[in-house]
Chain A
Amino acid sequence: MSSIAALKDCAYRIRRYALRMGEVQGQGYIGQALGLADALAVAYGHAMTFRPEDPEWEGRDRFLLSHGHYAIAHYAALIEAGILPLEELETYGSDDSRLPMSGMATYTPGMEISGGSLGQGLIVGVGMALGLRLKGNPAFVYNSMSDGELDEGSTWEAAMSAAHHGLGNLICMVDINNQQADGPSSQILKFEPIADKWAAFGWFVQRVNGNDLAGVLAAFDAARQHDQAQPRVILLDTLMGKGVPFLEQREKNHFIRVDPPEWQQALAILDAQHAGATA
């Protein structure tokens, strides 16, 4: 059983790595990365089974990054997991780097799919979950997606199919930060009541504050331990920029504005807050 304190450390490091990559590139989806860091800490720091030295180990739980633009967050988690070396974050988004701006399986160890064309991760997850079951492999497939991907028809093709096939080995995480390219997700295409929708499709549904580590931890445990042959979804209400107050309060945008000196300021605030919290 992972302690909340240990997961706090884990989430802090994920945020730190993401900010450092943002500074390297001078841009990036840092708001999303900071928002999802707690869920990633629980996934990689607690829930998932994997071998850092062998990212393709057959027994691993599969983590699919459907929203490929969250790669900055996923790379940070892969560094935290020991799958990617820390020093590689200096190459983020650069020519010939293994860490492109949008996540691709063909570039990066631990990156299971080439996401980015939104609404594809969950359908690939359906296929992988069917395949794992056919092989008798007990691994879980985690699909991480954004609330904007709820707009895509393919998401609901997958939702219907996963329930039809009784895929109890499929866990979907939806990052609800209510922000997509053209504005607040709820105004782009109304998605509520989102828990009812997933439930009506036949999923085991939990909705939690995605930045409350204890709640997220309990939700991941319940998702794994649920004893019905049905797919599981964890709806994570998150705050963009979480952990860096001036970014939490910045005008909401798909790409949160960060001015050049602010990367170091954000790191300093993050470090100070974490030191204070753990003191």
Chain B
Amino acid sequence: MNTVTTPKPRLTTSAMIASIASEGQRTRAAPFGKALVELAAQRPDIVGMTADLSKYTDLHLFAQAYPERFFQMGMAEQLLMGAAGGLAKEGFVPFATTYAVFATRRAYDFMHQVIAEENLNVKIVCALPGLTTGYGPSHQAAEDLAMMRAMPGMTVIDPCDAHEIEQATPIIAAHKGPVYMRLLRGQVPLVLDEYGYQFELGKAKIIRDGRDVLFISTGLMTMRALEAAQALQRDSVDVAVLHVPTLKPLDAETIAREAAKSSRLVVVAENHSTIGGLGEAVAGVLMRAGVHPAFRQIALPDEFLDAGALPTLHDRYGISTDAVVASVKSWL
């Protein structure tokens, strides 16, 4: 009898915005769009704007609910940011949406000079953060956090899941000043509600405690860190997770305090380039605080990333749960 070896199935690149939810994971649909619609009922000063990406940023829900307060700016990101500044100058609170690559790489000067320099009340909400599409570097925003952190006066947020996006939306609207928020859209994983988590602007929070490893993570990598923590528990590795949704202003006090506790391995995990994101920000905090734990970074390499299927790419670049677990084991 001949034995037939079945080759490993080759995954295909999924739609532009693949859900990052794993199979069977709890999700919630369009948390940002729904939260904004709800908020706008009480806040007539909120307006929505997009550069031809309302459907892909869940802003179409706002457009349907409040057509008179929705502005389609066309595929023109400089215009999107500059006009958002103009509406803010007239007293409105614009939520301007596009993909993270286009906001940061095409319209940086317009966010810098029109919005940030005058501390205007514009909320820039951007889909496809980091490596959340298999379409290649044209759509992968691996350096957006570095760029936005460098901009004076800009608040920078990378939420983890649907629960946090829902909570953060009214909070950033209430905050006076410009905000850049990374967005997960479509069917978004629901994780942090189980931990009784409450988002606070500028606050890092311990999601779970542990003696051996301290993850300091942001965005969807907090979800991965929590999954990795459960897997490592089975090998008797006790893992803490400190979630840092606000990259700027950074909660340096909490980060330094947690990193100084016992002699845990500190692993900073982010869906972003190794350059200029949470990893380097935390390293700076610890150096300045005189706290020197063993320190490792889980982040995307400083490269133009591959195209392909998202699960393949997350494995390849070390940000899947399995890859995170393997990395941590190799460092212990």
Report 13 cross-chain contacts, Cβ distance below 8 Å, ordered by A residue: A104-B117, A123-B110, A126-B82, A127-B82, A127-B85, A127-B89, A127-B94, A131-B90, A134-B68, A134-B90, A135-B91, A157-B79, A158-B82
Contact residues of B between 115 and 138, Cβ < 8 Å to A:
117-118
B86 touches A129 (CB 8 A): yes
A125 touches B86 (CB 8 A): yes
Q: List residues of chain B with CB within 8 A of the CB of A135.
A: 90-91
B117 touches A114 (CB 8 A): yes
- A110-147: CB near B (< 8 Å → 1, else 0) gives 00111011011001111111111011010000000000
B154 within 8 A of partner (CB): no
Size of interface on A: residues with Cβ below 8 Å to B: 31
Decide: A158 near B90, CB < 8 A? Known: A106-B118, A127-B84, A164-B74.
Answer: no
A154 within 8 A of partner (CB): yes
Closest Cβ of chain B to A153, distance in Å, is 7
Decide: A158 near B79, CB < 8 A? Known: A128-B89, A128-B90, A135-B91.
Answer: yes
B110 touches A120 (CB 8 A): yes
A108 within 8 A of partner (CB): no
Minimum CB distance partner of B78 in chain A:
A154
Q: How many angstroms from the CA of A125 to the CA of B69 in the assembled complex?
A: 17
Can you name 20 extra interface pairs (CB under 8 A) apart from A123-B82, A127-B83, A154-B82?
A112-B89, A113-B118, A114-B113, A117-B113, A119-B78, A120-B114, A123-B83, A124-B85, A127-B85, A127-B86, A127-B90, A128-B86, A128-B89, A130-B87, A131-B86, A134-B68, A134-B92, A157-B76, A161-B73, A165-B71
B244 within 8 A of partner (CB): no
Q: List residues of chain A with CB within 8 A of the CB of B74.
A: 157, 160-161, 164
Q: List residues of chain A with CB within 8 A of the CB of B82.
A: 120, 123-124, 126-127, 154, 158
Size of interface on B: residues with Cβ below 8 Å to A: 27
Q: List residues of chain A with CB within 8 A of the CB of B79.
A: 123, 126, 154, 157-158, 161
Closest Cβ of chain A to B118, distance in Å, is 6
Q: How many angstroms from the CA of A161 to the CA of B77 in the assembled complex?
A: 12
Which one of A113, A123, A127, A130 has the highest number of Cβ atoms from chain B below 10 Å of its Cβ? A127
A86 within 8 A of partner (CB): no
A105 within 8 A of partner (CB): yes
Q: Which residues of A contact B (CB under 8 A)?
A: 104-106, 112-114, 116-117, 119-120, 123-132, 134-135, 137, 153-154, 157-158, 160-161, 164-165
B52 within 8 A of partner (CB): no
Q: How many angstroms from the CA of A120 to the CA of B76 in the assembled complex?
A: 13
Decide: A127 near B76, CB < 8 A? Known: A117-B109, A134-B69, A158-B82.
Answer: no
Q: List residues of chain B with CB within 8 A of the CB of A137.
A: 90
Q: List residues of chain B with CB within 8 A of the CB of A114.
A: 113-114, 117-118
A106 touches B87 (CB 8 A): no
Q: List residues of chain B with CB within 8 A of the CB of A125.
A: 86
Q: List residues of chain A with CB within 8 A of the CB of B94.
A: 127
Q: List residues of chain B with CB within 8 A of the CB of A129.
A: 86
Q: List residues of chain B with CB within 8 A of the CB of A134.
A: 47, 68-69, 90, 92
Q: How many angstroms from the CA of A135 to the CA of B88 in the assembled complex?
A: 12
Closest Cβ of chain A to B117, distance in Å, is 5
Q: List residues of chain B with CB within 8 A of the CB of A123.
A: 78-79, 82-83, 86, 110, 114
Q: How many angstroms from the CA of A153 to the CA of B76 in the assembled complex?
A: 10
A131 touches B118 (CB 8 A): no
Minimum CB distance partner of B84 in chain A:
A127
Q: List residues of chain B with CB within 8 A of the CB of A160.
A: 74, 76
Decide: A153 near B87, CB < 8 A? Known: A114-B117, A120-B113.
Answer: no
